[in-house]
Structure 1
Amino acid sequence: MIGKFIKKAASFGFDGFLPGIISVIFLAYLFPFAGAKDSLIPLDEIAQIGVSIIFFFYGLKLNPIQLKAGLSNWKLHLMVHLSTFVVFPVIILLLHKLIPNIHTEDFWTGIFYLTALPSTVSSSVVMVSIARGNIPAAIFNASISSLLGVFITPIWMEVWFSETAKGDFELGGIFLKLILQVLLPVLLGLIFHNKYSWFAEKYKVRLKQFDQSIILLIIFNSFCESFTENVFAALSINDLLRLTMFSVALFFVIISITNFISNLLNFSKEDKITLMFCGSKKSLVHGTVMSKILFPGSDVMGVILLPLMIYHTSQLVICSILANKFAREDR
């Protein structure tokens, strides 16, 4: 009985990763010196190498033939990426102008960073599959979203820092780092796809565990630095509850917008499901690994990543409920 429940939960994305996130944050609170800047263990350098390995195997798993075949449904693709990269950040920019004093600028930066990120890959495809949506389109959009995020996310962050007048953001240097550490490994993986994709398929469970381990390492490192500098002192339980409610509200706003667009453009039910799920989700993987490049040496990294982690949990819960609802409707 318990085994079946665990297996079912894992199919929705509720595996040991979420408890792992909570655990490493707690460990960072207890032992902040272990991941601080003057730590004897070079966690930052280890994480950077791990990031490149993650994206190499991501490229190795990408199928160029499937990506090419998915180009035809351009209206759906356009709407997914407009939702992911335009609607999300514009909403937060407007809210920041209307209620700028709701919290600290670092807190707002974390919320905006969340909205500027690409969509998820694996969980989007899983949810679309459960809901009986357009699976090939989900694979195409999730994959392309990840590649577009390398360029679009830093551009939005430059807009944000220009808008808030908080520090300099060297876009040229950021692009160079992202190209070398993210895009180049992906391209190398694509080059070796035909010959070695079997390896990524055979060891996909181990590779997923490796990906999660690197993400947990980055989260631990980030929170150690934030706890060392005591940046969470102004953050209360009420703030966390408000952030959770905000995440849920933001998700439903995006879902409502994508639903409206789907009806307006007369999308099929399968395309509608794909737009709603792919256009409303944000990638914890990309958000975590890109943060090391976009905010190097930042003491407030924990605060910046907090909204993303809460939104990640919220989207898994809500999407699993919606996916099952759509699946039951087809019975």
Structure 2
Amino acid sequence: MKFAEISKMKSQTSKKGHRNVRLQDLLRKHWFILGILLSIIFAAIAPNIGTKGGVLKPEYTVKYGAVSVIFLISGLSLKTEDIFQTLTQYKLHLFIQIFTFIVIPVFTHFWSSILLFLGVNSWIIKGMLTVACMPPPVSSAVILTRASHGNETTAIFNSVLGSFLGILITPLALLITLGSTTVVPLVNTIIQLIITVLGPLVIGQLIRKFSKFRGHGIPLNNIGQILLLFIIYTTFCDTFMTHEMGLSAIDILVTIVLVLVLQILMMAMSYSIASNFPKLFSPSEVVAIIFCSTHKSLTLGIPILRIMFHGYSHLSQISLPLLVYHPAQIILGGLMTTQLKDWVRDCRNKRLPV
């Protein structure tokens, strides 16, 4: 009897141990997704801490701190020869920029016609069209590409290139789609890109070239993802602090659904097209394409909207799709990192066709 009881206790202990190991493995594998959820929850509980002008001062700590460190890490991690090799892949860059500035606006234009016919708020539709014209951001696509084991140099180059092109293309696209345009602050945008992106990237490369430091013993990838969680938290703090939407609960819900549907469709389309050309794009480059060609910049977008529609009573309605799009693209990307990482690994091991 005692032997049976001891065996039963050992069996229960063993099962409990296995469950704990599985839970630990699950948390270790999906900690970033859990971090996203916690960031959103904390932002909802105390949005005043991470909003602009709050205790954390995100207008400085995010804009010049987190983003700069992200690209410093990239500079330390990337091989210089890989950067120069990426610069020569004009077909890859052309695909991303065409998808960003032509495919998405054209698709959104036809999609908006259907939504207008279905009776969706016309100002929300204008906000969707405005989002489609925006250039890519310079941080989230890079971090998510790295986290998914994608081609980081491709993500960096096209994020920076897209931001520069957006200075010229975005006002023209807005003129064509909405009949309105604005003057993008050219000098300020270039200075900001140099300070927060190009400068840290070059410093990282110089450290790599003139020293033996390669970040050994430092979890650079995890640090980058933690910084992205900080960006997510401050973004949602601003979102939760925005009270003057002037929209009904139904309009807000419809906007969230439409933005998510648009993002999922665009990501699926970019993946489907790019992955069908294995001779042109490697699996890691396809990952970079998915994020770089579909992400849109809140940093440049909000100032443009405030200049274009200053004094308009519908400014909040037009801004809402972009406010939703920015955190949603990070959440969707975070949810996809594990699957994309496994897909890239399997493709490299030739277990799955590209």
Matched, 1:152 2:165: yes
Counterpart-to-counterpart distance in 2, 1:213 and 1:8: 16
Counterpart-to-counterpart distance in 1, 2:320 and 2:53: 17
Deviation at 1:35, TM superposition (A): 5.5
Which structure 2 residue ranges, 5 or more long, are not aligned? 1-21, 307-314
- Residue 239 of structure 1: which of 251, 255, 264 is its match? 255
Name the residue aligned to 2:154.
141
Name the residue aligned to 1:174.
189
Residues 283 and 197 from structure 1, CA distance in 2 versus in 1: closer, same or farther, beyond 3 angstroms? farther
- CA-atom RMSD in angstroms: 3.9
Task: Check the 8 A contact 2:68/2:196 in 1, yes or no.
Answer: yes
Name the residue aligned to 2:309.
none
Name the residue aligned to 2:10.
none
Task: Check the 8 A contact 1:222/1:302 in 2, yes or no.
Answer: no
- Residue 304 of structure 1: which of 293, 299, 322 is its match? 322
Deviations 1:170-204 (A, max 9, x none): 22332222223332232223222233743476252
Name the residue aligned to 1:279.
289
Counterpart-to-counterpart distance in 1, 2:340 and 2:236: 32
Residues 319 and 7 from structure 1, CA distance in 2 versus in 1: closer, same or farther, beyond 3 angstroms? closer
> Which letter maps to 2:263?
S
Name the residue aligned to 1:109.
130
Deviations 1:213-249 (A, max 9, x none): 5413530453255x24336656432332232222222
Which structure 1 residue ranges, 5 or more long, are not aligned? 130-134
> Which letter maps to 1:93?
P
Deviation at 1:62, TM superposition (A): 3.0
Q: Which structure would you say has the larger Rg?
A: 2
Counterpart-to-counterpart distance in 1, 2:327 and 2:35: 11
Q: Summarize the alignment of residues 43-62 of structure 1 with structure 2, pairs less than 5 Å apart.
A: 43-50=58-65, 51-62=67-78
- Residue 20 of structure 1: which of 35, 38, 52 is its match? 38
Deviation at 1:324, TM superposition (A): 4.7
Residues 49 and 5 from structure 1, CA distance in 2 versus in 1: closer, same or farther, beyond 3 angstroms? same
| TM-score, L = length of structure 1 | 0.71
Task: Check the 8 A contact 1:85/1:116 in 2, yes or no.
Answer: no
Q: Summarize the alignment of residues 71-110 of structure 1 with structure 2, pairs less than 5 Å apart.
A: 74=88, 77-98=89-110, 99=112, 101=116, 103-110=124-131
Deviation at 1:111, TM superposition (A): 4.2
Give the % identical residues. 15
In structure 1, the residue corresponding to 2:245 is in which secondary structure? Answer: coil
Counterpart-to-counterpart distance in 2, 1:279 and 1:205: 20
Task: Check the 8 A contact 1:60/1:189 in 2, yes or no.
Answer: yes
Name the residue aligned to 2:311.
none
Task: Check the 8 A contact 1:88/1:254 in 2, yes or no.
Answer: no
Q: Summarize the alignment of residues 202-281 of structure 1 with structure 2, pairs less than 5 Å apart.
A: 202-204=218-220, 207-208=223-224, 210-225=226-241, 227-230=242-245, 233=248, 235-260=251-276, 262=277, 267=279, 271-281=281-291
Deviations 1:5-59 (A, max 9, x none): 222335xxx44332134224423xxx55555666576442333331334333333
Task: Check the 8 A contact 1:200/1:207 in 2, yes or no.
Answer: no
In structure 2, the residue corresponding to 1:168 is in which secondary structure? Answer: coil
> Which letter maps to 2:130?
T
Matched, 1:63 2:84: no
Task: Check the 8 A contact 1:33/1:228 in 2, yes or no.
Answer: no
Deviations 1:76-130 (A, max 9, x none): x3333223221133123213443365534334333443x6346834543554x5x
Residues 153 and 18 from structure 1, CA distance in 2 versus in 1: closer, same or farther, beyond 3 angstroms? farther
Counterpart-to-counterpart distance in 1, 2:284 and 2:199: 29
> Which letter maps to 1:151?
F
In structure 1, the residue corresponding to 2:141 is in which secondary structure? Answer: coil
Name the residue aligned to 1:132.
none
> Which letter maps to 1:274?
S
Task: Check the 8 A contact 1:61/1:201 in 2, yes or no.
Answer: no
Deviation at 1:2, TM superposition (A): 0.8
